[in-house]
Amino acid sequence: MKRVMFVCKKNSRRSQMAEGFTKVFGKNKVAVTSSGLASSQVDPIVVQVMAEVGIDVSEQVSKPLSDFQPEDYDVVISLCGCGVNLPKPWILREVFEDWQLDDPEGQSIDVFRQVREEIRDRVLGLLSALD
């Protein structure tokens, strides 16, 4: 079973959505965690837009990357272009990708939905590639 880490700046929006989708679509195929360069809190709008597509992320919490060890993960995905700021061991995993998705913070709910759909599509692509 592949172990996937999604990393973002604050682990409050994009990485939380990616974790939620991966838990559902990758169930029994991958183990998934998300974290941030700094921890924050899960954005309530993320909880709302994920619930709209039947995925409950209300129990997920924001976690700092420093709580984890890179060798515990096979796949590391940066969602914010922050890959350049990650310590080198995180970038040197079996799979490393930097998706560089827009942060919906402070935007309308429609922007959150657009980002959600892009993350869903990318997660499905990632899971397909890992099969």
Annotated active-site residue in 80, 101, 115, 123: 80
Reported as a single tens digit per residue, the pLDDT across 53-84 is 999 999 999 999 999 999 999 999 999 887 77
Task: Give the CATH number of the domain where residue 63 resides.
Answer: 3.40.50.2300
Phi-psi region of 6 (alpha: psi -120 to 50; beta: other; left: phi over 0): beta
Query: Cβ of 45: how many Cβ atoms within 10 Å?
Result: 19
Burial class (CB in 10 A: 0-12, 13-18, 19+), 123: buried
Q: What is the pLDDT of residue 24?
A: 97
pLDDT digits (tens, 9 = 90+) for 17-40: 999 999 999 999 999 999 999 889
The number of domains in the chain is 1
pLDDT digits (tens, 9 = 90+) for 76-109: 999 988 777 899 999 999 999 999 999 999 999 9
User: Is 82 a residue of the active site?
Assistant: no
Q: Which member of 8, 79, 115, 126 is catalytic?
A: 8
Q: How many CB atoms sit inside 10 A of residue 92's CB?
A: 12
C-alpha 101/C-alpha 88 separation (Å) is 21
| pTM metric for this prediction | 0.96
The yes-or-no answer on residue 8 being catalytic is yes
Separation in Å, CA 4 to CA 52, 68, 90, 105, 123: 24, 12, 11, 24, 11
Task: Give the domain range for residue 109.
Answer: 2-130
- From the centroid of its chain, how far is CA 67? 16
